[in-house]
């Protein structure tokens, strides 16, 4: 089990929490001791923040690993994993740190546990710089389940910046192996739907304005399509704190799901928030990818672990995706190729195919 730890430079490429998430998850899965240095070296507040710490503690808890250097502000950690176990695991960022990012780090691991797991994740459900929980449930979940597993995600209470206070419960059973995926045919858009929400003290008209502005924006490009964006006032007992935001999802004839989303901020009018989400969705659709820019990097670790060749077609490759590929190759020895799509329809678009020969990880416990 032990041996020389794999050395990871936490300051390269994306240079943030993502390197920590990908490398510790792979370390846990592959039983590789890991040393991560220069953690978030270039950030305005370098080193570990509360949400990174809660993610690390969760991974440690998942496999009874040894963790050194895990404190706020630390720029170096050493992690020695043991066997992944199921059961109930709790992680609490105690801030608006994203529950979706906690899910990103823990989900690949518990798929290879000995028994089913329940992840109780506390923090922000709709937070900046992270997928909104609605994205995780409405886009990430149906697509990632194509790898051949199912999970249940129950939003107990929503939490917003700066206090967090949300809670999500994820139930997931282990698998023997992951299947490869092929998401290269984006088809044509069949419907667009979404949710504009307000919570706490914010007036309902803010949700209505966000939704209306987004619909107007989409209508300019998709005149005849059914577009339904529901304004929602979140119930007092189901939301902690004040927040607002919008998520819009396009479904295609081949079952692809692409999204755009935005969160309300102080001093930004509701129309602008709605338009931002709509523009993001339209930009993703114009690239002709089968996967949007936010799903791109989240699929990399699963592609690396699957057996066989996975392919996804997407717009421009994000720095998060390049980073995930780099560490999946370094740690898991999966083989990725990224090339421009050669399909003639894509010639004028910035469209790429990410292909991966997965390592065919098998669950030793099943």
Rounded CA gap, 239 and 26, in Å? Answer: 34
Q: Which of 60-69, 93-102, 162-171, 341-350 has the lowest mean pLDDT?
A: 341-350
Backbone conformation region of residue 94, classed left if phi is above 0, alpha if psi is from -120 to 50, else beta: left
- Smallest CA-to-CA distance from 121 within 167, 53, 180 is with 167
Summarize pLDDT for 328-362 with one digit per residue, the tens.
999 999 999 999 998 888 777 899 999 999 999 99
* Cβ-Cβ contacts under 8 Å for 226 (sequence gap 6 or more): 191, 192
Q: What per-residue confidence (pLDDT) applies to 106?
A: 97
330 is in an annotated binding site: no
Average pLDDT over residues 230-259: 97
What is the set of domains in the chain, with CATH numbers?
6-183+291-359 (3.65.10.20), 189-285 (3.30.360.20)
Summarize pLDDT for 180-209 with one digit per residue, the tens.
999 999 999 999 999 999 999 999 999 999
Label residue 217 by pLDDT band (50, 70, 90): very high
Q: What per-residue confidence (pLDDT) applies to 2?
A: 57
> Catalytic positions, please?
320
Rounded CA gap, 143 and 149, in Å? Answer: 10
Average pLDDT over residues 86-91: 97
298 is in an annotated binding site: yes
4 is in an annotated binding site: no
- Smallest CA-to-CA distance from 81 within 97, 98, 61 is with 61
Q: Which of 22-36, 113-127, 239-253, 343-357 has the lowest mean pLDDT?
A: 343-357
For residue 103, pLDDT over 60 is answered with: yes
Rounded CA gap, 77 and 75, in Å? Answer: 7
263 is in an annotated binding site: no
Summarize pLDDT for 259-278 with one digit per residue, the tens.
999 999 999 999 999 999 99
Summarize pLDDT for 13-57 with one digit per residue, the tens.
999 999 999 999 999 999 999 999 999 999 999 999 999 999 999
């Amino acid at each position: 089990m032990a041996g020389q730890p794999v050395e990871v430079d936490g300051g390269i490429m994306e240079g943030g929490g993502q390197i920590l998430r990908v490398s510790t998850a792979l370390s846990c899965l592959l039983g590789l001791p890991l040393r991560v240095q220069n953690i978030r070296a270039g950030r305005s507040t370098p080193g570990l923040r509360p949400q990174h710490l809660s993610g690390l503690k969760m991974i440690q808890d998942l496999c009874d690993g040894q963790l050194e250097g895990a404190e706020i502000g630390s720029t170096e950690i050493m992690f020695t994993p043991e066997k992944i176990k199921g059961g109930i695991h709790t992680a609490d960022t105690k801030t608006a740190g994203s529950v979706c990012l906690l899910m990103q780090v823990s989900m690949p691991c518990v798929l290879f546990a000995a028994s089913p797991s329940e992840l109780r994740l506390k923090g922000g459900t709709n937070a900046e710089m992270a997928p909104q929980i609605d994205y995780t449930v409405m886009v990430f979940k149906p697509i990632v389940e194509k790898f051949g597993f199912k999970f249940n995600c129950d939003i107990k209470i929503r939490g917003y910046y700066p206090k967090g206070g949300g809670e999500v419960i994820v139930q997931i059973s282990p698998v023997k192996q992951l299947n490869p995926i092929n998401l290269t045919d984006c088809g044509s858009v069949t419907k667009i739907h979404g949710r504009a929400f307000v919570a706490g003290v914010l007036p309902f008209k803010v949700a209505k304005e966000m939704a209306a502005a987004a619909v107007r924006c989409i209508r300019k490009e998709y005149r005849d399509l059914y577009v339904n964006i529901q304004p929602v006032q979140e119930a007092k007992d189901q939301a902690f704190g004040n927040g607002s935001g919008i998520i819009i999802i396009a479904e295609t004839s081949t079952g692809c799901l692409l999204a755009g989303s935005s969160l309300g901020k102080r001093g930004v009018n509701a129309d602008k928030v709605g338009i931002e989400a709509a523009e993001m969705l339209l930009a993703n659709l114009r690239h002709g990818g089968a996967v949007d820019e936010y799903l791109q990097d989240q699929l990399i670790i699963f592609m690396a672990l699957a057996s066989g060749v996975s392919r996804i077609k997407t717009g421009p490759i994000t720095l998060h995706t390049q980073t995930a590929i780099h560490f999946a190759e370094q740690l898991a020895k999966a083989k990725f190729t990224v090339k421009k799509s050669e399909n003639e329809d894509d010639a004028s678009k910035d469209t790429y195919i990410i292909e991966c020969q997965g390592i065919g990880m098998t669950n030793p416990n099943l």
